[in-house]
Structure 1
Amino acid sequence: MYRRGARVAGVVVGLSLVCGVALAHGGSLRNATQQELAVPTWLFLSTGGAVVGASFLLASFVTDRAFVAAVHEWRRAIPVPRRALAWAGRVVGVGGFALVLGTGFVGPTDELRNAAVMVVWVGWWAGFVMATYLVGNAWPAVDPFRTLSRPVEWARARLSGHTAGVSTERGAWASAALLLALVWVEIVSPLAEEPRLLAAAAVGYLAVAVAGVAVVGHGAWFERVDPLARLFRMYGAVAPIQRTDDGIRLRLPATRLSERVVTTRGGVAFVVAVLWGTTYDGLVGTPAWASFARELVSLGVPAPVLYPAALAGGFVVFHRVYWWAARKACETAPTYDDPETLAVRFAPSLLAIAAGYHLAHYLVYFLSLSPSLVGAVLAPLDPPVARTLVLPSWVSGVGVAAVLLGHLLAIWVAHGTAYDQFPGRLQAIRSQYPLTAAMVFYTMTSLWIIGQPSVTPPFL
């Protein structure tokens, strides 16, 4: 025990020496973690695109079908008490939800000292999401909305005697629309700065979940419609720890994405929404967007129209680029499969890109605000003075590495999927030409956003 404590203390002291600790003087959470990239923009943009293209060539001409199959099929069983962990997850989830409501309504108004703000945005949206694609998906057990809405399902089953449902396709499209709506609310509303509003939003989301369960049933809502449940399920497919029907298994990261994680056009739309949602969150905090938005408003465009229009327009662009790649793949392969078949099969590879960009977008955010998170949770009603870690400039390079690693994993997943989908080696390789071009487009966009200094979005 002494040695373990000494190690922990050493890590804390070492991190403090390397990073430093600074008082946080108000402002938004975005500004509290502002850090510019220490790499020239032209260098990492050109390098990033070249790395993705080179990785495609390497995967295509160096590996063979047997090697790819061996990598994707490797797995090891992990003995864990699933039932005990599930109950522990429910307790943690409901307890965390109670903490968010209690401190949100009656806690400090300073967002950097309020446990609700710190838990939701730093602990959950940054830290827990990162743990989901880096380790495994624990959200089905932790999800407080799933736990608290179960009585509604029991009452509904007793009163009606049956449970309604919703089709997989419609549920996926609804999830995509709801996810984009959540991203828009996050951007345009002061949820990260007003704890009372954040607590009210949590209650509102619970009300939506209860209404959804009452209409379509508990299983249908959380398996097909609820955007958070689907988001964590998609991110969890990237992780090395996977839950199966016969237990928990360890796999190589992202290898499950070569399976049929997505099955419908609506599922494709949701994956693109995940990718675009994180990109949009970063885009609106760049100086380029601020200048563009001010120019449009000066030309007479109403300010309230800017953000929803950009959200919808960007999603359409990302969605069309991907479907263009699917249609072109039918020509370059060539194959009798239609574009929808290829779009559904290759869509999961985009989740590796989304995970890499999320890590790049939120790693510095999470590390910088972790002292404030710990202080607010340990003393929720009387937290200490908010502090942030001042990170060294080289940490910004981790974001670039995360984006590139996500795209490299996506290339590998697409390569494995192509071998599984097409019988011929050359056909499998040629099918990836358009998808690789689309991935280069996504890479350059993500890296450009990461390379920009963070500013407060205008007109909000």
Structure 2
Amino acid sequence: MHRRTPIRVSTRLVAVLWFLIAVSGHALAHGASLQGDSKSLAVPLWLFILTGGGVVSASFLLASFITDRSFIRTIHQWQRFTSRSADGAVFVTKVVGVFALLAIVAAGWFGPQTARENLAILAVWVGWWAAYTISVYVVGNTWPAFNPWRTVGELLPSREANYPERLGAWPSVVGLLALVWLEVISPLADKPEMLADVIAVYTVVTLAGILLYGTERWFGTVDPIARVFRYYGRVAPLRRTDSGFEFQLPGARLTETKLVTGFDEVGFVVAILWVTTYDGFVSTPLWSDVVRPVADAGVPLNVAYLAALLGGYGLFLGAYRVATRLSRDTADTYLTPSAIARRFAPSLLPIAVGYHLAHYVSYFLSLSPTLLGVLSSPLDPPQAVYIVLPAWFGGLNMAFVLLGHLLAVWVAHATAYDVFPNRMQAIRSQYPLVAVMILYTMTSLWIVSQPTLTPP
């Protein structure tokens, strides 16, 4: 009876969400890009979301039949190597990174102040946060070479002060949440001068941190951008080594024991997952309906957005903690919930990757001609040109979300067989974790299905 209780709790969590969606009506599902264009799918919304949750559930059932440890190990240890060196390209990328930083700040301060004509706006949101981030989890983490603040920091002296170990990675969690909150509540995507000001402040804070704690400590522990790209890079099949390049299957490196070493790093992984969700949620009609009466009651919008950011993060982190505690019971193991949380946290990263792809591929493709036009003539940019994507692209965005969750289920399955000695322990340990993944899946699909609105 003791083992069945956590399973019942996990099942009820999913069942409650399914019920709420089921009684919410038969609205059409929509796939929306960041520009707000929506494309209808002729299926009831509740059926669309339940189908997504069912796909993840079915993938877990199918993965459960794969119980041969040697086969799972063979898949995750499969590698191919090449001795090609990228040492010569590293210097070039460092120069490009520093030049790009200077050009972006200069364009923000002195360039055209129309968003779609300004190099800073397009380079940061379309070129960097959309296209470059996608490249990180597709071909590997090249940010240490491109990072202009690291390049400059390596030339600066440092006091090498002792970093307060009790803080761990929590400053990077706060930094990531703060950056996303600032992006949402301020017109950073429309005001080039404000974007340049924020980058300048970020530069001052970063260089001060480097002077105090050193380059490696700052970018290894505190800097949120470096940590995001480091984790995203572990999803990629390609990795640069001292002798060349190493190729593995996507997500294979997420089962490594030392990838997440403390609950502070668990908190950051959950933060990555949450902020991608939050960025889409605050553009949905539901959020607009919620925040309007709050604003009418005299509550500042900035406070409402902050409360949603922190509250949602608390819910995501709390759901994951509950799942790991239930996982300990279902597996009947001596491992602590904290140890289980650390080992399974990397399996959440493919979910964030899938949602980022769904959120930004169409955005990048639509605005790429405008970005190329401004790059060719930043001082006298041509008229903005957009690519109108076909209607079926909305379905592709849904596929990105599902593929990310399917990869997450497989990574969790492989991790379970690496952690637990008994096969049934490995399978039972995943019940609560898969339940939480299904909740994440259905939430992501619901957000992607909504028509996109501009935040008030």
* TM-score clears 0.5: yes
Q: Residues 391 and 86 of structure 1: is their aligned pair in 2 closer, same or farther, counting only changes over 3 Å?
A: same
Q: Residues 405 and 167 of structure 1: is their aligned pair in 2 closer, same or farther, counting only changes over 3 Å?
A: farther
Amino acid at match of 1:61: F
Amino acid at match of 2:357: L
Amino acid at match of 2:221: R
Q: For structure 1, list consecutive stretches of 5 or more residues without a partner in the other structure.
A: 1-29
Pick one of 370, 379, 396 that aligns with 2:394: 396
Question: Does structure 1 conserve the Cα–Cα contact (< 8 Å) formed by 2:171 and 2:222?
Answer: yes
1:239 aligns to what? 236
Residues 248-288 of structure 1 show CA distances to partners (whole Å, capped at 9, x for unaligned) of 20010011001131111100000000000010000000000
Amino acid at match of 1:36: K
Query: What are the equivalent positions in structure 2 for 1:136-155 lying under 5 Å apart?
Result: 136-152=140-156, 155=157
Query: What are the equivalent positions in structure 2 for 1:6-405 lying under 5 Å apart?
Result: 32=35, 34-38=37-41, 40=43, 41-152=45-156, 155-156=157-158, 163-166=160-163, 170-260=167-257, 261-405=259-403
Shifted more, 334-343 versus 65-74: the winner is 65-74
Deviation of 1:79 after TM superposition, in Å, equals 2.4
Q: Which SS does the other structure have where 1:45 is aligned?
A: helix
Residues 37-87 of structure 1 show CA distances to partners (whole Å, capped at 9, x for unaligned) of 535322320111001010001001145212111110001112232321211
User: What is the rounded CA distance, in whole Å, between the counterparts of 1:337 and 1:39 in structure 2?
Assistant: 47
User: What is the rounded CA distance, in whole Å, between the counterparts of 2:40 and 2:360 in structure 1?
Assistant: 14
Question: Does structure 1 conserve the Cα–Cα contact (< 8 Å) formed by 2:83 and 2:243?
Answer: no
Shifted more, 130-139 versus 301-310: the winner is 301-310
User: What is the rounded CA distance, in whole Å, between the counterparts of 2:237 and 2:299 in structure 1?
Assistant: 47
Deviation of 1:328 after TM superposition, in Å, equals 0.3
User: What is the rounded CA distance, in whole Å, between the counterparts of 1:358 and 1:241 in structure 2?
Assistant: 19
Q: Residues 34 and 78 of structure 1: is their aligned pair in 2 closer, same or farther, counting only changes over 3 Å?
A: farther
Deviation of 1:103 after TM superposition, in Å, equals 1.4
Q: For structure 2, list consecutive stretches of 5 or more residues without a partner in the other structure.
A: 1-32
Question: Does structure 2 conserve the Cα–Cα contact (< 8 Å) formed by 1:39 and 1:397?
Answer: no
How many residues get paired? Answer: 423
Deviation of 1:333 after TM superposition, in Å, equals 0.3
Q: Residues 115 and 302 of structure 1: is their aligned pair in 2 closer, same or farther, counting only changes over 3 Å?
A: closer
Q: Which SS does the other structure have where 1:347 is aligned?
A: helix
User: What is the rounded CA distance, in whole Å, between the counterparts of 1:32 and 1:430 in structure 2?
Assistant: 43
User: What is the rounded CA distance, in whole Å, between the counterparts of 2:342 and 2:229 in structure 1?
Assistant: 19
Q: Residues 168 and 237 of structure 1: is their aligned pair in 2 closer, same or farther, counting only changes over 3 Å?
A: farther
User: What is the rounded CA distance, in whole Å, between the counterparts of 2:125 and 2:40 in structure 1?
Assistant: 23
User: What is the rounded CA distance, in whole Å, between the counterparts of 1:345 and 1:169 in structure 2?
Assistant: 21
Amino acid at match of 2:206: A
Normalised TM-score (structure 2): 0.90
Question: Does structure 1 conserve the Cα–Cα contact (< 8 Å) formed by 2:161 and 2:212?
Answer: yes
User: What is the rounded CA distance, in whole Å, between the counterparts of 1:252 and 1:182 in structure 2?
Assistant: 32
Q: Residues 242 and 31 of structure 1: is their aligned pair in 2 closer, same or farther, counting only changes over 3 Å?
A: closer
Q: Which SS does the other structure have where 1:389 is aligned?
A: coil
Question: Does structure 2 conserve the Cα–Cα contact (< 8 Å) formed by 1:103 and 1:114?
Answer: yes
Residues 67-116 of structure 1 show CA distances to partners (whole Å, capped at 9, x for unaligned) of 11111000111223232121121012112112202211111111111111
User: What is the rounded CA distance, in whole Å, between the counterparts of 1:312 and 1:239 in structure 2?
Assistant: 29
Normalised TM-score (structure 1): 0.89
Question: Does structure 2 conserve the Cα–Cα contact (< 8 Å) formed by 1:360 and 1:402?
Answer: yes
Residues 388-430 of structure 1 show CA distances to partners (whole Å, capped at 9, x for unaligned) of 1111111011111011000000000000100000011111000
User: What is the rounded CA distance, in whole Å, between the counterparts of 1:31 and 1:234 in structure 2?
Assistant: 24
Amino acid at match of 1:135: V
Deviation of 1:36 after TM superposition, in Å, equals 3.5
Q: Which SS does the other structure have where 2:80 is aligned?
A: strand
Amino acid at match of 1:252: L
Shifted more, 106-115 versus 346-355: the winner is 106-115
Question: Does structure 2 conserve the Cα–Cα contact (< 8 Å) formed by 1:104 and 1:199?
Answer: yes
Q: Residues 88 and 33 of structure 1: is their aligned pair in 2 closer, same or farther, counting only changes over 3 Å?
A: farther
User: What is the rounded CA distance, in whole Å, between the counterparts of 2:299 and 2:51 in structure 1?
Assistant: 37
Question: Does structure 2 conserve the Cα–Cα contact (< 8 Å) formed by 1:111 and 1:194?
Answer: yes
Q: Residues 229 and 31 of structure 1: is their aligned pair in 2 closer, same or farther, counting only changes over 3 Å?
A: closer
Deviation of 1:134 after TM superposition, in Å, equals 1.4
Q: Residues 33 and 124 of structure 1: is their aligned pair in 2 closer, same or farther, counting only changes over 3 Å?
A: farther
